[in-house]
Amino acid sequence: MFNNFKKIATTVVMAFSLIAANVAYSSDKVIIGQLNWGYSKIMTNIMKIVAEDNYGLQVDMVPGNHAVFFKAMDQGKGEVDVHPEVWLPNNQGLVDQYVNENQTVVLTDAVFPAFDGFCTTQEAVDTYGLKSVYDLTRPEIVGLTDRDGDGKGEIWMGAPGWSSTKIHQIRARDYGFADLYDLTVSEENVILAQIDADAKAGRVIVWACYLPHHIFGMHPLVVLEEPAHDPEKWQVADLNEDPNWLENSHVSTSFPPISSHIAYSKRLETDAPEMAKLLNGIDFSQELINQWSFASSVEQVDPVVYAREWVDANKELVQSWLSN
């Protein structure tokens, strides 16, 4: 009797193990990586709704960052299947490793154009002649951005975990103004509140900026002039694996043309080919991303509710993604 009970127990355990395995590796389940900025949350919820409505897939989202998402996609175990927003060349090291070398991750064509640089207000340009990154070495500009009286100005470099944050730190050093400023790193909502307050008060502020972004629709802002991109002056170490990335890099030029792509685990091509087809069919625009950025950051919409309403109101555009 004991042996029979043991056999039954073993069978039950095996059955639960198989169920668990099927849940973890189900071809009907897709996991999208969720980035921490507003419009990206709308973007991923739209992907989720379109996939579930049209293909009957179960789509969930998990938070994380670029390196975490790529490592999970590389493993192909369904822990993360989709990275919704890969900016190039910012994340070129990850693409080289997982897309080009390992060939475990697939990169779509560009889904929208982007831009990285340094910005200030139009008033700072008009009043103080702050037009170029080289103007950041002027003592007057340093003093105008010195908020704590320590003799150094302040420039926001980006948020933790962004590849562009490190690239901007390299550029600040190689443009010759890094030692004159506190190069701050913080979540984006902190600097956005400061930009809004300073722009309204007429104070000078400089920060590492990017487009598309809703802040450009709220205040007259200006991108500081830089030398045209020169590949010979764009030498970036592996920002994720090289502990000495700052010392081993040299960047004294503007960013090359930037584009945003979707990356996905190669497992989707066999386990969820409809999802892979959808991801390759998606084509956003900078205007659309600006709308989502404004909705999330200024209007502070619920990304889940907004995404549902957006999909219902844009059926023709969604159908074009499905048909590509």
Do residue 144 and residue 180 come from a single domain? yes
Task: Identify whether 271 is part of a domain.
Answer: yes
Do residue 120 and residue 107 come from a single domain? no
Do residue 311 and residue 215 come from a single domain? no
Do residue 264 and residue 215 come from a single domain? no
Domain that holds residue 233: 114-251
- Identify the pLDDT of residue 229: 96
Do residue 131 and residue 231 come from a single domain? yes
Q: Which helix (H) or strand (E) holds 45?
A: helix 38-55
Number of structural domains (the chain) is 2
SS3 165: helix
- Identify the pLDDT of residue 20: 38
Examine the fold and report which residue of 251, 276, 311 is the final residue of a domain before the chain moves on.
251
Task: Identify whether 22 is part of a domain.
Answer: no
Q: Closest Cα partner for 40 from 5, 69, 73? A: 69
Helical pair 286-297 and 38-55, crossing angle rounded to 10 deg: 110
Task: Identify whether 296 is part of a domain.
Answer: yes
Distance CA 80, CA 48 (A): 14
CATH of the domain at 269: 3.40.190.10
Do residue 145 and residue 79 come from a single domain? no
Do residue 190 and residue 100 come from a single domain? no
pTM to 2 decimal places: 0.73
Distance CA 147, CA 159 (A): 20
Do residue 288 and residue 227 come from a single domain? no
- Identify the pLDDT of residue 254: 97
- The pLDDT tens digits along the chain (324 residues) read 434 433 434 433 333 333 333 334 455 799 999 998 889 999 999 999 999 999 999 999 999 999 999 999 999 999 999 999 999 988 999 999 999 999 999 999 999 999 999 999 999 999 999 999 999 999 999 999 999 999 999 999 999 988 999 999 999 999 999 999 999 999 988 999 999 999 999 999 999 999 888 898 889 999 999 999 999 999 999 998 899 999 999 999 999 999 999 999 999 999 999 999 999 999 998 889 989 988 988 899 999 999 999 999 999 999 999 998
